[in-house]
Structure 1
Amino acid sequence: MTLKNPDKQNTSYHHGNLKQALVDAYLQLLHEFPVEKISLRKLASHVGVAATAVYNHFPDKMALVVAVKLECLGHFTRYLESHAPDTLEPEVRIRVLGQSYYRYSIEHAQYFERIFQEQVPDEYFTPELINCVMSAEKALRSAVLALLQKNNLPVNQYNEALGTYACWSMAHGITALASKHMNHTACASGRWPEEFLLHNQTSVNNSFEAMTEILIQGILVSARNHTD
């Protein structure tokens, strides 16, 4: 499934995959309206079909939100995989995955927001959605697994999960702080060095290299202590 360019102008729907066209239109409308203002009827009008045609594919708005989340998660996973191939050494791959996570939030902010800002009720969690979420987790987990194996440490569910959790938390934490300019405030106050400003590629590299070193040492120590 190819993610369409959300910046291109929409034209009335004539033929093809209406379900995909509705997902693309939803992403386009987010440039003009907040989420709560995009109704299924507004979406139908934007695409140029009757409202009943929309309900044939999505019985309610949350079903559409899930389809959009699936689209964005797929794009996110492909981005991480393409920027951090499994041929890299695990320490390097963990750092590059973190950097790619951060870069994605900037380069594809609209998709990133759809992944993390819209909550899906339990009753809308389908096997497809769960598998898609776990696909995004897979790259991080495989890097942690390679790190454990490289250091001859116990490979078990706890060590893999904790390592993955830590890697994801680092990447998302740095991204969240930067999105709210908290790191800018800390650097401007003089409490943090300028290299944590994330204002250019060198700063991004230095920040993630320092944080990854701490993260990896923590993962290794924990794995040595957890042998079950």
Structure 2
Amino acid sequence: MSNDAYHHGNLRSALIEAALRLVERGGPPSVSLRAVAREVGVSQAAPYAHFRDKRALMSAIAALGFERLRDRLREAERAGCENLTELGKAYLAFAHDNPGLYGLMFGPETEVDPADPVLAQAGREAFAILARSSAHPGDEGPGDPGPVAAWALVHGLALLSMSGRLPVGAGEAPDRVLKLLQPGIDAHRGEADAG
């Protein structure tokens, strides 16, 4: 790719996309600002105009991941998939389609900065969609255990499935596993009406 392609301000996006390709090919250890510059075809100093260090770049990639997860979950919502089983399928599909990115999104704080405002906001937006499907109606606040239970299930199922640690047969029908939580979420959501 030529340096001429970046005269209109899209170098930052190109660096993020190049780093994402490196993450998917070799995981976070394969990413360095030097490797990303080489991948894009710019000088080794060029990435520093947009990212102070590798952690800032990795935080931008993780934020992009949460934005893409949010978009995938929104698509499922728009298609009428508002219960946890259906949203969970979309969540699992995202994780399986983007294993390196998903690993970075939930990886150690040494790789990303959880205090990065763009990353934090993107994570909240993705989580809010799960929260709407599992919280007391009208209350997706941090004290509601429904969203935490929903997220724990889909995230744990994604990690187990991606690592090949699900028992034989369980990995073939994740929707059956997701459906096990739905009655509990429905009961939890109904507590507000009963109370």
| TM-score in terms of structure 2 length | 0.82
C-alpha contact (below 8 Å) 2:55/2:112 kept by paired residues: no
2:183 partner amino acid: E
Cα deviation, residue 51, structure 1: 1.6
Distance 1:101-1:39 versus aligned 2 partners, 3 A rule: same
Alignment coverage as a number of residue pairs? 192
C-alpha contact (below 8 Å) 2:95/2:102 kept by paired residues: yes
Cα deviation, residue 27, structure 1: 1.4
| Residue 43 of structure 1, aligned match among 36, 46, 63 | 36
* Structure 2 residue runs without a partner (length 5+): none
| Residue 23 of structure 1, aligned match among 16, 19, 28 | 16
Distance 1:125-1:106 versus aligned 2 partners, 3 A rule: same
C-alpha contact (below 8 Å) 1:66/1:120 kept by paired residues: no
Whether 1:166 aligns to 2:149 is yes
What SS does the aligned partner of 2:175 have? helix
The structure whose Rg is larger is: 1
Q: Residues of 2 paired with 1:158 and 1:33: CA distance?
A: 35
| Residue 119 of structure 1, aligned match among 88, 109, 120 | 109
Query: Displaced runs of 4+ in structure 1, greater than 6 A?
Result: 121-124
Q: Aligned Cα RMSD in Å?
A: 2.9
Distance 1:46-1:208 versus aligned 2 partners, 3 A rule: same
User: Quick one: percent identity of the two aligned structures?
Assistant: 21
Whether 1:59 aligns to 2:52 is yes
| TM-score in terms of structure 1 length | 0.71
Matches within 5 A, 1:165-184: 165-184=148-167
Q: Residues of 2 paired with 1:58 and 1:122: CA distance?
A: 13
What SS does the aligned partner of 1:14 have? helix
Deviations 1:69-126 (A, max 9, x none): 11111111000110133855x5xx2221112111211122232222112526896623
What SS does the aligned partner of 1:141 have? helix
